[in-house]
Chain A
Amino acid sequence: GNSVTQMEGPVTLSEEAFLTINCTYTATGYPSLFWYVQYPGEGLQLLLKATKADDKGSNKGFEATYRKETTSFHLEKGSVQVSDSAVYFCALSDGKGNLIFGKGTKLSVKP
């Protein structure tokens, strides 16, 4: 069946450090891939998405590339800020449009 595996946290970085959160998936067909973010006390928000192989999603300095050959969708940011502290969820959309999420990775950025 469809599933998403992402690196476990928590991840603690200093401000301006480089961020990578790994995400791999198992799916039949060609799912769309997403990164959602959950800031403290807030609901899930879409951060970026990619709908086909080799697509790169980007938003707010974050990027992720849909890699079909490695079934991966790793999240990266070149220079994190304290305001990026949140929980990040990788997800795929199955054939019915339902989202299947990873367990989430908590990121803490220290000044």
Chain B
Amino acid sequence: GAGVSQSPRYKVAKRGQDVALRCDPISGHVSLFWYQQALGQGPEFLTYFQNEAQLDKSGLPSDRFFAERPEGSVSTLKIQRTQQEDSAVYLCASRHSTGGSYNEQFFGPGTRLTVL
């Protein structure tokens, strides 16, 4: 496909369960971002990868959140011991180049996580 894809699109977890969310960026895109969007809010930055290197994880809300991109392509966001406050839409975005804050980020459709 030509765009960013994410799976699953919807995930329901019981409190305390671990979840893994997958992002397939646009082929060849160097930069990859994860955002968290709570209901009725704008997306908030979680973490950023340049190829396989995680250069910024300042937005991860707790040490229960972990992201990886081992081969510089697909990325996985893992949340351990999920809590109700983790319920949100998790968005992935990719960007072709590394530099230039004006370069467009392309967003996936998101994964809606509901923690019961």
Contact = CB atoms under 8 A, between A and B. Distances in A.
Interface string A89-102: 10101111111111
A68 to B, nearest CB: 15
Contacts of B48: 96-98
Interface of B: 3-4, 31, 33, 35, 40-45, 48, 56, 59, 91, 93, 95, 99-110
A103 interface: yes
Report whether over half of chain B's contact residues are helix, strand or loop; otherwise say mixed. loop
A44 B105 CA distance: 10
A89 B44 CA distance: 12
Contacts of A83: none
A93 B102 contact: yes
Contacts of B56: 96, 98
A99 B40 contact: no
A2 to B, nearest CB: 10
A80 to B, nearest CB: 21
19 contacts: A42-B109, A43-B3, A43-B91, A43-B107, A44-B43, A44-B91, A45-B107, A46-B104, A49-B104, A89-B43, A93-B102, A94-B101, A97-B103, A98-B45, A99-B35, A99-B93, A99-B105, A101-B43, A103-B41
